[in-house]
């Protein structure tokens, strides 16, 4: 049994060596078998190469002398003005339930009433529905509701401007289509 398996492996190896040795001849070895191919390769090699694109003209660098006089030092931390006189979140205000959720996690699911006394129904991620009217604070960026409509809620958020002050940013929540 062992001899038979050994003989089969030997036969397979011999036939593989014989098959690969038959494929070693190339066109360059025997130019007589494909004269038109050798002729075509010679013609292609004899063609002149296409011209190269000209080297692009490099514009000379124009230097600029910066004069920093009249500007504040960007590394002077005390020179950064605090925007204390502008708007800022009221830290003494009592937080409302919808301020613990991000604005994109809140869904407007309907309205109650009509005309000037429209109250929006907003569902939070805790699956509780809250009543929202103008003046209500929602979202984590001190968003104050300025208007409630039958199809959306408009609010203004206070976000830091990066220089110690605050900016008002409009936002809205649209009625969820079900």
Q: The domain that contains 127 carries what CATH number?
A: 2.30.30.830
The residue segments making up the domain with residue 141 are: 99-174
What is the reported pTM?
0.51
114 inside domain:
yes
80 inside domain:
no
By mean pLDDT, which of 42-46, 65-69, 97-101, 171-175 is the weakest?
65-69
2 inside domain:
no
138 inside domain:
yes
116 inside domain:
yes
137 inside domain:
yes
150 inside domain:
yes
Q: How far is CA 137 from the centre of its chain?
A: 31
Of 156, 106, 158, whose CA–CA distance to 131 is shortest? 106
CA 106 vs CA 20, 41, 111, 117, 145: distances in Å? 71, 72, 15, 21, 13
**Residue 19 has what pLDDT?**
74
Of 144, 164, 160, 129, whose CA–CA distance to 96 is shortest? 144
Mean pLDDT (whole number) for 26-36? 61
104 inside domain:
yes
Mean pLDDT (whole number) for 66-77? 76
* Overall number of domains in the chain: 1
Task: Count other Cβ atoms within 10 Å, centred on residue 76.
Answer: 8
**Residue 83 has what pLDDT?**
44
- Asked whether the beta carbons of 165 and 159 are under 8 A apart, the reply is no
Strand order in 152-160's β-sheet?
137-138, 143-148, 152-160, 166-174
109-146 tens-digit pLDDT: 999 987 778 899 999 999 999 999 999 999 998 999 99
């Amino acid at each position: 049994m062992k001899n038979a398996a050994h003989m089969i492996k030997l036969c397979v190896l011999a036939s593989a060596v014989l098959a690969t040795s038959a494929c070693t001849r190339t066109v360059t070895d025997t130019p007589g078998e494909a004269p038109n191919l050798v002729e075509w390769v010679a013609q292609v090699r004899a063609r002149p190469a296409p011209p190269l694109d000209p080297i692009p003209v490099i514009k000379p660098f124009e230097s600029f002398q910066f004069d920093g006089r009249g500007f504040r030092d960007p590394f002077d931390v005390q020179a950064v003005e605090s925007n204390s006189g502008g708007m800022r979140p009221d830290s003494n205000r009592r937080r409302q339930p919808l301020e613990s959720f991000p604005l994109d996690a809140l869904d407007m699911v309907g309205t109650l009433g009509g005309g000037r006394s429209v109250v929006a129904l907003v569902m939070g991620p805790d699956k509780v529905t809250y009543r929202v009217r103008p003046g209500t604070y929602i979202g984590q960026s001190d968003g104050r509701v300025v208007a409630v409509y039958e199809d959306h809620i408009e609010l203004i958020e206070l976000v830091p401007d990066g220089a110690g002050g605050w900016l008002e940013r409009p936002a809205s929540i649209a009625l969820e289509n079900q």
